[in-house]
Structure 1
Amino acid sequence: MSKNPVVPYAIIAILGIALVIILSYVGVNQREAIQNPEENADAAEETHDPEEIYQSSCAACHGGDLTGPPDLTAIGSKYSAEEIQDIINNGRGAMPPGQATPPQAEILADWLVENYK
């Protein structure tokens, strides 16, 4: 009885087809994450710690110690929390809008008013 040379090739072909199907299935499930990276990043990075929000969204321009420019160390005596939130959300002067999400802007504004008067 001689060996059939087609059998090893058939096994390799079946394994290859199964691998393609598995990888396709995994890829289809990741399509949403690939198409919407900003949404997924925002959801994963959403924090409620005002200092973390400040460091990730504001410190590059305003400095790690809030000394600016512009200086934020007394911002709570100049603006209300609602005004600060509006500035964060909509921008003003050199401040571009949308540097933080609206919920983060609210957290930041409350923190700035409470701690930097």
Structure 2
Amino acid sequence: MKKKLLALLMGTSLVMGLAACGGGNDNTKDKGGGTETASAGDAQKIFDQKCSGCHGGDLTGGVGPNLTKVGATLSKDDILNVLKNGKGQMPANVVTGDDAEKVADWLAAKK
């Protein structure tokens, strides 16, 4: 009985963790009117929408690793590679395109 309960708990945790990492709005649709592109100062906002569910709003981690000093160990290109291909439990393409560039620049400066 304990093994079944543990398996159920672990499965639920995994599903909830992965669901949190993939959240955010789909900005690929044309909504008319204003533009949905982010300016250079919006990397924090993109991170908050797409990444903070796993990495925490303060970058200290949670389901995902701590990113407070990620720029000390990973370059912008390394961060872009993780965003594109995923790593560990992180799915690929959580952030894409120009948004990925902005978030990678912002995170690479965290040293």
* TM-score under structure 1 length normalisation: 0.61
Query: Are 1:106 and 2:105 matched, yes or no?
Result: no
Runs of 5+ unmatched residues, structure 2: 1-25
Q: 1:46 aligns with which of 37, 41, 49?
A: 37
Higher relative contact order structure (alpha carbons within 8 Å, sequence separation ≥ 6): 2
Q: Which has the larger radius of gyration?
A: 1
User: Take 1:56 and 1:41, find their aligned partners in 2: how far apart are those partners?
Assistant: 19
Displacement after TM superposition at 1:41 (Å): 6.0
1:42 and 1:80, CA in 2 relative to 1: closer, same or farther beyond 3 A?
farther
8 Å CA contact 2:43–2:103 kept in 1: the answer is: yes
Which consecutive segments of 4 or more residues in structure 1 shift more than 4 A?
41-44
Output the CA distance in 2 between the equivalents of 1:51 and 1:42: 23
Note the aligned Cα RMSD (angstroms): 2.2
Query: Aligned partners of 2:107 and 2:75: how far apart in 1?
Result: 9
Map 1:64-75; keep pairs closer than 5 Å: 64-68=57-61, 69-75=64-70
Between the aligned partners of 2:99 and 2:79, the Cα distance in structure 1 is 12
Q: Percent identity?
A: 39
SS at 1:40's partner residue? Answer: coil
Provide the aligned length of Structure 1 versus Structure 2. Answer: 80
**Paired position in structure 1 for 2:50:** 57
Quick one: distance in 2 between partners of 1:63 and 1:42?
29
Change (3 A) 1:42 1:100: farther
Once the two structures are superposed, residues 69-109 of structure 1 have per-residue CA deviations (whole angstroms, 9 ceiling, x without a partner) of 30000100010000001101111111111111221111111
Distance change in 2, residues 1:42/1:58 (3 Å)? farther
Task: Name 1:86's counterpart in structure 2.
Answer: 81
CA contact 1:88–1:98 (8 Å) conserved in 2: yes
- 1:28 is matched with which residue? none
Structure 1 residue ranges without an equivalent (≥5)? 1-36
